[in-house]
Every structure is written in structure tokens, then in C-alpha cells.
Amino acid sequence: MSDAAMSADNDSDVPNAMTIVAWSGDLDKMWPTLILGSTGAAYGMQTTIFFTFWGLFPLVRDDVRVTGTNAMTKALAGMNRPGISHMKLSKLNMAGAGAWMMNKLATDNKVASPKELIEMCLELDVNLWPCEMTMELLGLRRDQLIEGVGDPVGAATALSAMSKSQINLFI
Amino acid sequence: MEHQVDLTIDAKGQKCPMPVLMTSRGIKKIESGQVMLVEATDGGSRSDIPSWAKDTGNELLETTSDNGVFRYLIRKK
């Protein structure tokens, strides 16, 4: 039997790597992203989440109000408050009332919050990679991001991880 | 069949995906061959824990349910 066939046999059908591109910073998209990411790691998969565009804002520390380097990027953070605890719903947000209700329902039902899940991801060694280009575009600094995230990387690094993953998701 | 339980994980009241995450965290704390008991009330655990055990190569020795509490005995590979 060839080496390739042997290793295919040994690997059986269990995936061993997953990469999620977290494009959306909406509460109702980032939540499942973090659920799948942490569960993937619990499954023993090498799990990577690549945070890009709107997905980067939840990686900013909750206590950081203003990000950006000029009027435009600062205004963006003003209209779209960064932080894992400040995400909005993609629909029925109702100026925050919808998001508040969703968080309340989750707490009442003992569903782990995005903040707890991201801590779980870090504990389970999920790679949390911020997109370098978007960070520059949005004027985000490394020290404004939560502790434990990886070095900012580019699209090629993300694709390299994806090419080695059996599961690739764009959320 | 009685097994000696080396570690008990109380995931009662926790919702998906926490029971699996806590199970994964627990398995790291025991040695190969040791047995862990996971207790959960989340219905999703009925499919999640067996599939987790199968895919991670750990052995699900026994599944019982009593009064809405599911108990899983898992032996670390």
C-alpha cells in the first residue's frame, strides 16, 4: 500500500483542521462562529478563525470606545461600537433592544455568551487571526485588541490555512 | 457494569456547545485509560457527546438518562 493510501486509512474520515472566515461582526453571526470554532477545537481540530472587515470589531477590547486614525475611521467606531459585548443583531436589532433581548434570553437559558465563547476559544488554543489589511484600513491597533489574539496576517496566510482544512466556513 | 470514575464533569444546565467544551476540557485532565463521567441536561448532548467520543477516539462506555439528566461514561484513549 502506498504511503498516501496508508495515511488516508489512518486518518479515517475525521477532519483535523477547520478554518472560519469571520467577516460579519453581527451578534447573530459571530455567535455561531464562536460556537463552531470552540467546538471544533474541542473536537481536536486545528481551528483557526480569520477575522476580517466587520468581524474585526468584536476582537477589540470592550473598554475601547474610539478606534481609528482619522475622522472617517473614528466615526465608524462611533457608529459601530467595537467589542465582543457590543454586537448588534443583523435583523430586529431595534436600536439595541433586540440585541439586549437576545442576550437576556441567552443568559436566562444559560447559553454561553460570545464573551465566554471567545475565552473558551483562547483556552482551547483556537487561532484567532486578525486581518492585517483591515486593521490598517480601520485604523485598529494591536493593543486595542483583546489579549491572546494572534499576529495580524494577510489573505495568503488565511488561504494557506484553508487549503489544509477539511472544513472551511465564511460567516 | 460498574466503572471507577476518576473525574466528574457537571454540565447540568449548560447549553450547546458547553457540555462538549467541558467534556473536552475534562479529558485533558485525566490519564489514558481513566474514566470520566459527564452529566448534562442539554438534549443536544445525546448526539454531541457520542459523536465527539467517536471522532476523538475516546470510548463511550455507557449512556444513561434519569429524570432529564444524561450521564455519559467516557474512557480516555
What is the domain partition of chain A in residue ranges? 16-170
Please state which CATH number belongs to domain B7-75: 3.30.110.40
Partnered with residue A131 across adjacent β-strands are A153
Query: What is the rounded distance in angstroms from the CA atom of residue A55 to the CA atom of residue B42?
Result: 29
pLDDT digits (tens, 9 = 90+) for A150-161: 999 999 999 999
Give me the helix-helix angle, A114-123 and A27-42, nearest 10°. 30
Contact between chains at A35 and B55 (C-beta distance less than 8 A)? no
Full-model pTM: 0.86
A85: phi then psi, degrees, rounded to nearest 5: -90, 5
SS3 A26: coil
- What distances in angstroms separate CA A140 from CA A31, A47, B19, one per listed residue? 22, 24, 35
B9 neighbors B30 (Cβ within 8 angstroms): no
What percent of chain A has pLDDT above 70?
A: 91
Q: What is the CATH number of domain A16-170?
A: 3.40.1260.10
Which residues, at least 6 apart from A119, have a Cβ–Cβ distance to it below 8 Å? none
How many beta-carbon pairs below 8 A join chains A and B?
A: 39
CA B72 vs CA A51, B32, B38, B42: distances in Å: 35, 17, 5, 12
Which residue ranges in chain B fall short of pLDDT 70? 1
Q: Do A44 and B18 touch (CB under 8 A)?
A: no
Distance CA A1, CA A159 (A): 31
Angle at B8 between CA B7 and CA B9, to 5 degrees: 120
Q: What is the value of ipTM here, to two decimals? A: 0.79
A-chain residues near B18 (CB < 8 A)? 112
Residue-wise pLDDT for A44-103, tens only, equals 999 999 999 999 999 999 999 888 889 888 988 888 899 999 999 999 989 999 999 999
